[in-house]
Amino acid sequence: MRIDGLQYANWSPKIFRQMHEGGVDAVHVTIAYHENFRETVANFERWNRWFEQYPDLIMKGRRASDIDTARETGRTAIFFGFQNPSPIEDDIGLVEIVHTLGARFMQLTYNNQSLLATGCYEAQDTGITRMGRQVIREMNRVGLVVDMSHSADRSTIEAAEISTRPIAITHANPHRWAPALRNKKDDVIRAVVSNGGMFGFSVYPHHLKDKSVCTLESFCTMIARTAETFGVRNFGIGSDLCQDQPDSVVEWMRVGRWTKEIDYGEGSADNPGFPDMPDWFQDNRDFGNIADGLRAVGMNADEVAGIMGQNWYRFFAENFTAETR
């Protein structure tokens, strides 16, 4: 089983075929960065057209059992998520609506302060806001997973404590291995996984030690050491693959509508676009390289299977449905 905890590719039949060729059974797909509710609905609609046009390659995912169907029929189940709470605007009632439409993950922040929490680029982290506490409660109720991938440390720890259901960091790496601003310190990882949450390891070069020239051995050793520290059960892959996206999309991701200036984020003024991916992970056909690399650094078959997909499957099964009262 192969499940990717996050991608934001420039979707096309070519990529859908590559997912099939790579044996990718399910992908959490970002369908909103800064979009409001109506714009996000248009993104749902666009995916509905793709499901109609390519029914032999992709299908909509709502629950973990859809992954079983995808595996049986040779397709990839697509699960939707937001990298910002902008689709719910300032209306808590939209939490249930977006879940009904198919959303299964929502980040409480994207780098900046939001109405719900503090982003990882802010100088001061004031934690989960009053609205944030209410929205987490509603997300727990309907089965919309709290994602803190772009959130600051205090906010993430508080979210793990406030939430009555496990939360996720879908795409990041340990800060001690690669001290990128958005990578997570040990106390943050511990707060998430000790409450049953999931952490997806990212292949995005700005999150890697040595960036685009990071070796497969280094990446897989990082995964193995992290699993030794915290236990393997709560870790998977969240590649953050942004395949075939033009560099202009980076500007949308970082800038949105909140500033008139260019925000380079984790990039640089000299190279503001997408960085080159490492040679061992160019697209969805390369997930086998990660599995091979994990075995090469000493992980056993069960551990590798967990990292490559079974841990995400269990998390999906437990958290995508409404709370039982």
What pLDDT was estimated at residue 264?
72
The pLDDT value given to residue 128: 98
Report residue 251's pLDDT band, with 50, 70 and 90 as the boundaries.
confident
Domain ranges for the chain:
3-319
The answer to whether the beta carbons of residues 108 and 65 sit under 8 Å apart is: no
Look at residue 95 and tell me whether its pLDDT is greater than 80: yes
> Does residue 80 have a pLDDT over 90?
yes
Q: Is 219 left (phi over 0), alpha (psi -120 to 50) or beta?
A: alpha
Q: What is the residue whose two structure tokens read 């973990």? A: 64
Position 252 confidence tier, pLDDT thresholds 50, 70, 90: confident
pLDDT tens track for 7-59: 999 999 999 999 999 999 999 999 999 999 999 999 999 999 999 999 999 99
pLDDT at 256 over 70: yes
- Look up tokens 């299964």; give the residue: 104
> What is residue 271's predicted lDDT score, i.e. its pLDDT?
62
Class of domain 3-319: alpha beta
Tens digit of each residue's pLDDT (9 = 90 or more) over 140-173: 999 999 999 999 999 999 999 999 999 999 999 9
Q: Which of 21, 22, 26 is nearest to 312 (CA)?
A: 26
Q: Go through the chain and tell me how many residues it has.
A: 325
pLDDT value of residue 268: 60
Q: What is the pLDDT of residue 273?
A: 80
pLDDT in tens, 15-26: 999 999 999 999
What's the 3-state SS for the chain? CCEEEEECCCCCHHHHHHHHHCCCCEEEEEEECCCCHHHHHHHHHHHHHHHHHCCCCEEECCCCHHHHHHHHHCCEEEEEEECCCHHHCCCCCHHHHHHHHCEEEEECCCCCCCCCCCECCCCCCCCCCHHHHHHHHHHHHHCCEEECCCECHHHHHHHHHHCCCCCEEEEECECCCCCCCCCECHHHHHHHHCCCCEEEECCCHHHCCCHHHCCHHHHHHHHHHHHHHHCHHHEEECCCECCCCCCHHHHHHHHCCCCCCCCCCCCECCECCCCCCCCCCCCHHHHHHHHHHHHHCCCCHHHHHHHHHHHHHHHHHHHCCCCCC
Of the candidates 321, 324, 322, the one whose C-alpha atom is nearest the C-alpha of residue 66 is 321
What value does the mean pLDDT of the chain take? Answer: 95
What's the average model confidence in pLDDT over 105-119? 97
| Span 129-149, average pLDDT | 98
The residue to which tokens 């993104």 are assigned: 43
Q: Are strands 26-32 and 58-60 parallel, antiparallel or unpaired?
A: unpaired
Name the residue type at position 206: H
